[in-house]
Structure 1
Amino acid sequence: MPHEIAVFGILMPTLLPLFVLSMLLQIGLDWALGRLGVYEKVWHPALFRWCLLIVIFSGLSLPLYR
């Protein structure tokens, strides 16, 4: 898989759309976990949200650079 994507003649790294996709997935998952009350049981909700974003982004980008 190429490491750059051409969008309207501009080269951008492949990780940029993956990061945007992971942010969108994290927002949806954050909303669902908030509705289920998971954040009331977590020690540090902001740290949990950050780690969730890192896990989603790593899971999406790891197959790209394997």
Structure 2
Amino acid sequence: MLAEFDLFGVFISPIAIYSVAAIPVTLLIRFLLWRTGAIEWFWHVALFEVALYVCVLCLMVLYV
């Protein structure tokens, strides 16, 4: 787990860094799902993408 991040004298919470870092990972997974056509399995694509982001964020907090 990260400690507080110092950005020019301003301390930033680790969850802010994790949330920014989870965006490219989510976009990569989303791109792979679109290319393979697996995204069509889901009933509500936007809801799935939000849930995917939350899952990636939770996994990053737990394991990074």
Band of TM-score, shorter chain: 0.7 to 0.9
Q: Structure 1 regions of 5+ residues with no counterpart? A: none
- Match for residue 31 of structure 2? 31
Question: May I ask how many residue pairs the two structures share in their alignment?
Answer: 64
List structure 1 runs of 4+ shifted beyond 2 angstroms.
Answer: none
| Larger helix fraction of residues | 2
CA apart distance, 1:11: 0.7
- What is the identity percentage for the equivalent residue pairs of Structure 1 and Structure 2? 25
**Matches of 2:6 and 2:49 in 1, distance apart?**
31
SS at the partner of 1:11? strand
The structure, 1 or 2, with the larger RCO (C-alpha pairs under 8 Å, 6+ apart) is 2
Cα distance, 1:40–1:10 mapped onto 2, change above 3 Å: same
- Match for residue 19 of structure 1? 19
Using structure 1 for the length normalisation, give the TM-score: 0.82
